[in-house]
Structure 1
Amino acid sequence: MTRRTDTHPDLTRPEVGAPFFSTWRVGTPERQKQAVEAIAGTWERRPWPAAGLLGYHVYAGHDGSTLLHYSQWRNEQAYDAFVKTHRQERNDEIDTAVPGIERLRLDRYRHYRSGTRDDHDTRVPGCIVIVDVEFEGPDPDRQRAWVDAVFEALDSEPNPHPGGIAAHFHLSTDGTRVLNYAEWETAQHHIDALAKPGEGVGSGSALWERVQNWPGLKGSTVDRYDHALGLVPD
């Protein structure tokens, strides 16, 4: 069966061979809540759909309009089989409960690197920050090199912000994007860090300038989310 959980996912889980991220636009905070409950009800009324799905999590955007979906698959074949047999009926039920959902995009990723300040950190994230970086054209070597440069810049920071917990970098399988799933203690910690470059987000150092002006870097977005729903097999 399907069980609801408040526990945040483990982004470094070794069995996850195909992490997927997708975004829906629902329009208002009220519709965010309605959509989350519709997803929960739709899934809880059905058996867990596939042994190859290890977990499914939904996050409410602080913009009051979007939902982020993160699913942990053993491999892409398991996801493709789910699409053929289970996804449409679930989406149809959700759309009946909350008409007008815009499904903006779904991207396939591979986990590349994670960084934590303390391997024994037990803090529970109060805010998830998604940094979505797009490059001009596919280049897997460039994806990896850029992430490695970010870690080099982070390691050089003399005063990392205390609110940061972990950062988990993923590379899109089409070679064009990098997604950082960053865990923060609270949204205010992240807001404060952005207001004071050099405290864990990016100072004016040469290493950070290199990251921000990487050849082929097309653009990036930064969005904050709250963990709204976790679904796992029972």
Structure 2
Amino acid sequence: MTRRTDTHPDPARPEGGASLFSTWRVGNPLRQRQTVEAIAGTWERRPWPADGLLGYHVYTGHDTASLLHYSQWTDEQTYEAFARTQRLERVDEIDTVVPGIERLGLGRYRHYRSVARDGDPRVPGCIVIVDIEFDGPDPDRQRAWVDAVIDALESEPNPHPGGISAHFHLSADGTRVLNYAEWESAQAHLDALAAPGDGIGSASDRWERVQTWRGLKSSVVSRYDHALGLIPG
């Protein structure tokens, strides 16, 4: 059985061995809503596909044209079995309702480290995805960069009160880091970006080290609203 939930996922849950992120471009706010409902209907009409799928969540992009998909699996092999046997029929049904969806690829990640305030009761009002790309595969560099970011965050003298958590994921191919960050609101994140300094964080040696890391190729920031949660039930 598949059921909806309004509860946000926990990216740091220990049984999550594989985190998969993908983006669909759907075109406009109406098609965003139509696609979310098509996904919900397609999944709710079918049994939950595998014990190894912990949850599947969909987010509407603040660009008004995209959807972010985030699924947590116990391992990649369980996802591959689903992709071989069940994914296509679900995609076909969604495409019948909302034709012309552009799928921009699937990113395979594993959760590495998180920063969060213990017992913080706030519900995120905005999810901020920071997509970091390096100039080539280097797992040691991925981990070292995240460690440096967390060091900068934990040493930050003026943390913005609107930040709730940051969950860092390492791509399986060794070239990217994805930060799934929870914020009180989109405005809180915009206010933090507008504060003195270059991006989130004060003008410090620690943040300069992060921003000028060897091989850092690009950093893309996108904001989303949680639109749909699906879990076994």
Using structure 2 for the length normalisation, give the TM-score: 0.98
CA contact (8 A) 1:161 1:200 kept: no
Q: Distance in 2 between matches of 1:188 and 1:39?
A: 28
Shift, 1:194, TM fit? 0.3
Residue 98 of structure 1 corresponds to 98
Partner of 2:36: 36
For the residue of structure 1 that corresponds to 2:86, the secondary structure is helix
Aligned partners of 1:63 and 1:136: how far apart in 2?
A: 27
Report the aligned-residue RMSD.
Answer: 1.2
Partner of 1:9: 9
Report the TM-score, using the length of structure 1 for normalisation: 0.97
- The aligned length equals 233
What does residue 131 of structure 2 align with?
132
Q: What's the secondary structure of 2:124's corresponding residue? A: coil
Q: Which segments of 5 or more consecutive residues in structure 1 lack a partner in the other structure?
A: none
Question: Following superposition of structure 1 onto structure 2, how do residues 70-149 of structure 1 map, counting pairs within 5 Å?
Answer: 70-116=70-116, 118-149=117-148
Q: Does the alignment pair 1:160 with 2:162?
A: no
The Cα of 1:105 is off from its aligned counterpart by: 1.5
The superposition leaves residues 152-195 of structure 1 with CA deviations (integer Å, 9 ceiling, x where unpaired) of 11122111000000000000010000000000001110000000
What is the rounded CA distance, in whole Å, between the counterparts of 1:217 and 1:159 in structure 2?
25
Runs of 4+, deviation exceeding 2 Å? 197-200
Aligned to 1:194: 193
Distance 1:125 1:33 in 2: 20
| Counterparts of 2:196 and 2:14, CA distance in 1 | 33
Deviation per CA, 1:104-148: give whole Å up to 9, x if none: 0111101000001x2110100000000000001100000000001
Contact 1:160 1:200 in 2 (8 A): no
Whichever residue aligns with residue 212 of structure 2, its letter is N
Partner of residue 178, structure 2: 179
**Identity over aligned pairs, percent:** 77
- The letter of the residue matching 1:228 is A
Which sits farther off after the overlay, 199-208 or 168-177? 199-208
AA aligned to 2:138 is D
Which deviates further from its counterpart, 189-198 or 104-113? 189-198
Provide structure 2 residue ranges, at least 5 long, that are not aligned to the other structure.
none
Matches of 2:183 and 2:52 in 1, distance apart? 29
State whether structure 2 residue 19 is matched by structure 1 residue 19: yes
1:67 corresponding residue in structure 2: 67
